Amino acid sequence: MSKTALITGITGQDGAYLAEYLIKKGYIVHGIKRRSSLFNTDRIDHLYQAPTVENRNLILHYGDLTDSMNLTRIIGEVKPDEIYNLAAMSHVKVSFDTPEYTANADGLGTLRILEAVRLLELAKKTRIYQASTSELYGLVQEIPQKETTPFYPRSPYAVAKLYAYWITVNYREAYGMHASNGILFNHESPQRGETFVTRKVTRAVSRIALGMQKNIFLGNLSSKRDWGHAKDYVRAMYLILQQDQPDDYVIATGVTTTIRDFVSMAFSEIGATIEFRGSGVDEKGYLTGVERARFDTMVGGDYYEPFAARIGEVVVGVSKDYFRPTEVELLIGDSTKARTRLNWTPQYDLKGLCNDMMVSDIKLMKRETYLKDGGYRIMNYFE
Ligand code: NAP
Ligand code: GDD
């Protein structure tokens, strides 16, 4: 018998990778997606099956974490073996602009799922994964951060996720539910949302290489993150729910890097070197060189001359618009517990992750140039 999983946030980065992973394992996957005025299923289009297909292994439901009745109905109909609660307003800076909504979706949304499972008397059947976050550590009280490190959230997002973390623990203890928190450190991929810093950088560096934009403006270049690959991290989510006992686990690489160094890494993927000069909002990144062979391999010889002509120019700037009212300066995780108990080890290091994102974005941006040049019509003609 196939297992049934319900994924909230299936249209997001992690939801898409997890759906693919579980389908490959033979699961029937149900996903909750929000209604949107434009298609928002790009990340799962390759998995989509129309309702007319018999024996589907991917079934989508309209829903929203702010709507209890909708969640209760879907959970009651699907009666999943596993729920992965990945849906959230997940952008830390945006949470300062939409704090009430963030609390509702990210905090109370988790309660709605737990309570629906309890009221539907599925507590003994349905295992629950809660997408907790290293943002809980915020103003870090210990380096590196592990499961026992005290929390100190620094944004409306992190405070909402703090509620979600503890309500998950409480339902586990109060009702014996198999409910677990994955305390995941930052994880990225070619599918990462465009406004998170790594993707913003890999997209911009690709566009700068192709002559589509002159420079990129960022915020705090000195904050440090422990970045892993989303493909490795969804594997950890699955493993957490396969354990006999529910528990909470830190998932991290144990390596931390500044935003500034990530920018340099992205440029080095195309053979370019950058030098940062100045400080605070006056800091700038100058293009200081480019290695032709690497550039030609990664980007293409046609683009080399115009790019090399820019040596000496500013390609990275800082804007106060991208700073947060309160910042999380340093994250670095100790995932010993997950590595020993779950036998989880990441396969990607940061260089591999950055390469994966750069290769994908260069390809994507070339397609964008092609579309701008009228390629879209040509493509439609042939499709
Ligand atoms: P993401 O790409 O932003 O995806 C978020 C998903 O949640 C999207 O499918 C989004 O739908 C959906 N969503 C947002 N608000 C919703 C609502 N009110 N009702 C129903 N669905 C809603 O995030 P991600 O990077 O995949 O992260 C997955 C989860 O892990 C999130 O809970 C995030 O907070 C948490 N997390 C992420 C990281 C990380 O580094 N990526 C680290 C730790 C924890 P639309 O597509 O319609 O917007
Ligand atoms: N987004 C963004 N844009 N961040 C910037 C920029 C910029 O232009 N410039 C500097 N940064 C800095 C931020 O100030 C932060 O210190 C760091 O880059 C990472 O920012 P994000 O990529 O937006 O991620 P995050 O760490 O705030 O949050 C992500 O990871 C959390 C796990 O720690 C999100 O995925 C959260 O949902 C997740 O919980």
pLDDT in tens, 298-332: 999 999 999 999 999 999 999 999 999 999 999 99
pLDDT in tens, 267-297: 999 999 999 999 999 999 999 999 999 999 9
* Substitution candidate for ligand 1 out of 86, 95, 145 with most atoms within 8 A of CB: 86
For position 1, what pLDDT does the model report? 85
Please state the atom number of ligand 1 nearest to the C-alpha of residue 106. Answer: 32
The model scores a pTM over 0.95: yes
**Considering 133, 202, 253, 256, which one is annotated as catalytic?**
133
For position 370, what pLDDT does the model report? 66
- Residue 228, strand partner residues: 187
Tell me, using a 6 A CB cutoff, whether residue 165 lines ligand 2: no
Spell out the per-residue pLDDT of the chain, length 383, in tens.
899 999 999 999 999 999 999 999 999 999 999 999 998 999 999 999 999 999 999 999 999 999 999 999 999 999 999 999 999 999 999 999 999 999 999 999 999 999 999 999 999 999 999 999 999 999 999 999 999 999 999 999 999 999 999 999 999 999 999 999 999 999 999 999 999 999 999 999 999 999 999 999 999 999 999 999 999 999 999 999 999 999 999 999 999 999 999 999 999 999 999 999 999 999 999 999 999 999 999 999 999 999 999 999 999 999 999 999 999 999 999 999 999 999 999 999 999 999 999 999 999 999 877 666 665 544 444 33
Residue 328 CA to ligand 2 centre (angstroms): 9
For position 380, what pLDDT does the model report? 41
* Substitution candidate for ligand 2 out of 13, 91, 92 with most atoms within 8 A of CB: 92
Closest residue by Cα to atom 36, ligand 2, is 90
Residue 14 CA to ligand 1 centre (angstroms): 7
pLDDT in tens, 347-370: 999 999 999 999 999 999 998 776
Residue 87 CA to ligand 1 centre (angstroms): 4
Tell me, using a 6 A CB cutoff, whether residue 229 lines ligand 2: no
For this structure, is 305 an active site residue? no
pLDDT in tens, 175-186: 999 999 999 999
Tell me, using a 6 A CB cutoff, whether residue 189 lines ligand 2: no
Residue 361 CA to ligand 2 centre (angstroms): 19
For position 369, what pLDDT does the model report? 73
